[in-house]
Amino acid sequence: MTTALISVFTGSISSEPALLVNARDLHAFLGVGKVFAAWVASRIEEYGFIENQDFIVFSNSGKNTVGRRRRDYHLTLDTAKELAMVERNEKGRQIRRYFIECEKQLKQQSERPQQRSSCRYCATVTVFDAVTQSLLQMTVRDDCYKGLACHISAGLGWRTNSFTSLPRHLLIKIN
């Protein structure tokens, strides 16, 4: 992943796992001219963000300059991207691209184990026989028994016009 601009962490909003960003960190990175509390309150109101859906609020043990308890906000990644976009400055574009890269990395990491398990337990079979052309794709378990010539795509999207171009170990004997 690229160098961390601000911390992106996992948490939960309404008992659902989510990628979160500390709003104070985002505010500091964006270099917003407003005081944090005024900035975050105005953005939430202006853009209609919903508590416990787009962000969560909690009181921090620290105090602000007036002696009141600090309120911290954790934003979903989508909310943080939207806030970065509306700032319309170079830092906003930079952090938005960073968030998009974070999402791509997470998506790749979550797809890898899934691909392995789908190869292990279940394979997508593409049937090339003209007679069974209507059966474009089907899912089978390890007991790929009735001998259709097939190949395991496992998300690779292979295409071929004849069985002979398939690797030998992927051909299943027709009974």
3-state SS record for the chain: CCCCCCCEEEEEECCEEEEEEEHHHHHHHHCCCCCHHHHHHHHHHHHCCCECCCEEEEEEEEECCCCCEEEEEEEEHHHHHHHHHHHCCHHHHHHHHHHHHHHHHHHHHHHHHHHHHHHHHCEEEECCCHHHCCCCEEEECCCCCCCCCCCECCCCCCCCCCHHHCCHHHCCCCC
Q: What is the pLDDT of residues 53-75, one digit of tens each?
A: 999 998 876 766 677 788 899 99
**Would you tell me how many other CB atoms lie within 10 Å of the CB of residue 155?**
11
Q: What is the pLDDT of residues 87-106, one digit of tens each?
A: 888 998 898 888 888 888 88
104, HSE (Cβ side, Cα atoms, 13 Å)? 8
Question: Nearest 5 degrees, angle CA 97-CA 101-CA 104?
Answer: 140
Q: At which residue do the structure tokens 């052309």 appear?
A: 133
Residue 108, pLDDT score: 86
Q: What does the alpha-carbon distance between residue 45 and residue 47 come to, in Å, rounded to a whole number? A: 6
pTM: 0.57
Q: What does the alpha-carbon distance between residue 129 and residue 145 come to, in Å, rounded to a whole number? A: 16
Weakly modelled stretches of the chain, pLDDT under 70: 1-3, 61, 63-65, 113-175
- Distances in Å between the Cα of 23 and the Cα atoms of 39, 104, 108, 113 are 10, 21, 26, 32
Residue 169, pLDDT score: 47
**Pair 94, 86: CB distance under 8 Å:** no
